[in-house]
A and B are shown apart, each in its own frame.
Chain A
Amino acid sequence: MTDTMLKTPEPSSTPDVYDNPVDEAIAALKKRYPDTVVDDSRENYSGVVVNANNIVEVAEALRDDLGFNYLSSVTGVDLIEDNKLEVVYHAYNIEKGGGAVVLHVQVDRDNPIVPSLVPIFPGADFQEREAWDMFGIRFDGHPDLRRILTWDEFHGHPLRKDWREPFYEADAKPFGSRWPGGSVHRAEEQNIYGKNVQYPSGWVPTGGEYEVETNMYEGVTISRDATPGLKTDKVIVNMGPQHPSTHGVFRMVVTLDGETIMGLRPVMGYLHRNHEKIGERNTFIQNIPYTDRLDYISSMSNNHGYVLAIEKLMGAEVTERAEWIRILMVELTRVVNHLWALGFLLNDLGAMQTPMLYFYIERELVLDFFEAAAGSRMMCNYMRFGGVAYDLPDDVRGQPIMQFLHDLIYDRIPKALEQGDGLMTGNEILRNRSIGVGYLSAEDAIAYSAAGPVLRASGVPYDVRRAEPYSYYEHLDFDVAVRYNGDIYDRFLIRMDEMRQSLRILEQVLPHLKATEGAPIIGSKPQYALRMPAGGEAYGRVENPKGELGYYVTAKRRSSNPERYHVRAPSFINLTALEKMTVGHKVADSVAILGSIDIVLGEVDR
């Protein structure tokens, strides 16, 4: 033994060594902005509180110097007791993965002005508009701060705690009128005309001239002349909301020069029902069936994200079998969703119905399984806090369950993918229509907060299942599918790749399901009236088939309703990049580009 080995190690010159990039980034921010960035002192709150005037600098430092270059979620919170409004930002490190740096900005409730982050993170565009719409937070410097989910003339900001909906009955469910003295009434009977509804001043219900959407059309810019030398007029065309290519009620206001798209404004909200307000009225368990109705193609994954957030908040343990069942359901959902998405993409490209219906055959089989397990084909309502609602069924259409799953995963779905490949991958028409169309570069995809297949088709291998593993994903062997061209064709191919990876995961899940047969599927007895043991905030995110689905939930200690319930909907945020992808292409291409993003309006409009 030498003397040098006995020497105590000298204190390192940099005492701040963090095992976690989030802590490191927060420490760096606090060091650099000692007065403006402070720890959030509330119970179970992560992240920091930032002075509103400095948020742009802080965000810039976060993006450029600390590597947190992906602003995933922006949302408002009404802190009515403190007479404040809060904006919550979740930023991620796209290269290193891991958790979020959470920034809270608090402003006065009567004059809420926050500098816009759109110049730093263009992906904040729609989300800031949503926060303006719902909370009335003005984002200074936002290029186009209009309402997004409600209409221009809407009165008030619905997610403020003191705003009441026309069918308002009470602040929280369960409503006292239901039991023990329940006298039945229809909701519309409560909305006696004029008594419970607010209209903007000057609005006359019986007609009268009313100018609508003037702002929107003013904002549509005419940027370049596509055909020099030829005198042409630019035309503004409303595509949708009733249009078969929009996958629901979605409108694209396009400025055309001939057939070329010069500008595009998405208009949404036709399916808006304020899911989040409903969610804040609901008790925790009542929200589970409502999440089914967000992205109704993949309700199992929606359930998963929500129960993850609540489990974080209440600190519930999930049993082993329940975790495997969850992964089984979620990955089958991914297959179902991508089969659907590709079928509709082909539909948009003019391959009317045929490939879509071929894909439906396998989708129907999976839905049969969901129906046997959960009781419903699409509105599954299957997951509970700490587990799942029911064990796997004994059989599906007369076939023993494990046999059914085995045949499905090893035989039917692989064959369907092979068939899809043969039908489409080499098809010259498809290739001509899609290669090089709707290009989104990797930098833009990150900047616009694109998620899921849209992000990965642009060459960014970011998958929540790998970046911040939840459930048992870290024990599973699969690759993050990635493609590099960022066009429609790659977004098509990546969905095929992801389905293959899902099959790989499913193959690994089956033996575990067999091994855990008969084991408990839920950690504790489910409670119909759950009270949150501790207050705080939680953000549960999952890799939904359409991208990162996040639930931001805050609750007070002993409360039975969430204080704030926000959904980071991937379909909605992926639309931010739609204009970028579409400008310069033809009208017919815009339909295909929208199809390649794969939106579901239930989730876009919420």
Chain B
Amino acid sequence: MYGLGIIKGMAITMKHFVATYLDDLRWLTNGGRYYNDEALLVRQSLKGQGAITVFYPEEKLPVPERFRFVPFLVTDEPAAGQQWGQDWCTSCGICAKVCPPQCIWIERGKQPNGRPKPEPEKFFIDIDICMNCGLCAEFCPFDAIKMDHDYELASYDRTTAHIHDKERLSKPISYWREIAPKKAEAEASARDFVKLAKERRKNKKGGEASGQEERMEEAKARQLVYRGKLY
């Protein structure tokens, strides 16, 4: 029959229309379908039914650990009475070299005698240029630069707010543990492992072949943590 295809299509549209209301009824006694974190998660999962819209900004989807947005610099916890903690960054420049759009500027610190100090004097990221690729965090050997989860960076004036300096970029390690607990833990254990292996090697002074083996083991562990299951 001519027109049957259209009617069939309409039936599917009708099904979608009804599904949303049915889902509404289901959540009626559980805090409602909207503005309810639990309902939002179900709506966005494989079990979601009907309209899947998220009412941003009233509702916000949680982002996964690996989510990456403009980077930040990791510091120690600030000591009592101080605003900033010790930088983890050693200003080795790997992030600036690997950055595809070249949005990272680092001024390496100088000791009084003029030799380089492993600490950044200044650190800038132009977030207008940053493409959020995450390569800086991926290749930082000191876990000192990490990708942030704060994606609400819109501002009225790009000329004043969009070059992030060291103050704006620095965030304590506790913040990283909060937004990416599993990743932070894995990285911490890798650092511990490397530290332990180094100490053991030092104590063993004359060890010839075993040192090599350890180093390999260490590299493997690092590899696993950074690239494998735990990440």
A binds B: yes
Residues on A lying within 8 angstroms of B by beta carbon are 169, 173-175, 177-184, 186-187, 282-283, 285-290, 354, 358, 361, 364-365, 368, 371-376, 379, 381, 387, 389-391, 393-394, 396-399, 404, 407-408, 411-412, 419, 422-431, 517-518, 520-522, 525-526, 528-529
Tell me if B108 is interfacial: C-beta within 8 Å of chain A. yes
Point out the residues of chain A lying under 8 angstroms from B8, CB to CB. 422-423, 426-427
**By the criterion of a CB under 8 Å from any partner CB, how many residues of chain B are at the interface?**
59
Residues facing A in B35-62 (CB within 8 A) are: 41, 44-46, 48, 52
Is B97 in contact with chain A by the CB < 8 A criterion?
A: yes
- Give CA–CA (A606, B231) in the complex, Å: 34
B168 at interface (Cβ–Cβ under 8 A)?
Answer: no
Contact A408 B46 (CB under 8 A): yes
Chain B residues contacting A525 (CB-CB under 8 Å) are 219, 223
Interchain CA distance A393-B124 in the complex, whole Å: 31
Asked if A184 contacts B46 (CB within 8 A), the reply is no
Closest to A293 in B: B131
Question: Is B161 in the interface zone, CB < 8 Å from A?
Answer: no
Query: What is the CB-to-nearest-CB distance from A342 to chain B, in angstroms, rounded to a whole number?
Result: 14
Question: What is the interface of chain B mostly: helix, strand, loop, or mixed?
Answer: mixed
Question: Do the beta carbons of A381 and B134 come within 8 Å of each other?
Answer: yes
Q: Is the CB of B13 within 8 A of A428?
A: no
Inter-subunit contact B98/A285 (CB<8 Å): yes
B108 to chain A, nearest CB (A): 4
Smallest Cβ distance from A353 to chain B, in angstroms? 12
Asked if A358 meets B16 with Cβ closer than 8 Å, knowing A427-B9, A428-B3, A528-B139, the reply is: yes
Q: What residue in chain B is nearest A286 (Cβ atoms)?
A: B100
A-B contact pairs, 23 of them (CB 8 A): A175-B102, A180-B91, A182-B106, A183-B105, A184-B105, A184-B122, A184-B126, A186-B126, A187-B129, A285-B98, A285-B135, A358-B12, A375-B68, A379-B132, A387-B227, A391-B229, A393-B65, A397-B44, A419-B12, A428-B6, A518-B228, A521-B227, A529-B98
CB under 8 Å from chain A, chain B span 213-231:
219, 223, 227-229, 231
**Complex Cα gap A424–B8 (Å):** 9
Contact B107 A180 (CB under 8 A): yes
Residue of A nearest to B141 (CB): A528
Shortest C-beta distance, A232 to chain B (Å), equals: 34
- Of A169, A175, A397, which is within 8 A of B45 by CB? A397
Q: Which of B45, B122, B223 contacts A182 (CB 8 A)?
A: B122
Total number of A-B contacts with CB less than 8 angstroms? 172
Name which residue of chain B comes closest to A387, CB basis: B227
User: Which of B48, B132, B135 has the most CB atoms of chain A within a 10 A radius of its CB?
Assistant: B135
**Contact assessment for A529 and B105 in the assembled complex, using a CB-CB cutoff below 8 Å:** no
| B37 CB to nearest A CB, Å | 12
Closest to B222 in A: A525
Q: Name the distance in Å between A435's Cβ and chain B's nearest Cβ.
A: 13
CB proximity of B223 to chain A, nearest CB, Å: 7
Given contact pairs A379-B133, A391-B231, A518-B229, A373 touches B66 in the complex (Cβ within 8 A): yes
Known: A182-B106, A182-B124. 12 other contacts (CB 8 A): A178-B104, A180-B108, A182-B122, A183-B105, A286-B100, A290-B100, A376-B67, A389-B138, A412-B46, A422-B11, A526-B138, A529-B98
Contacts of A184 in B (CB 8 A): 105, 122, 124, 126, 163
Option from A283, A393, A517 in Cβ contact (under 8 Å) with B64: A393
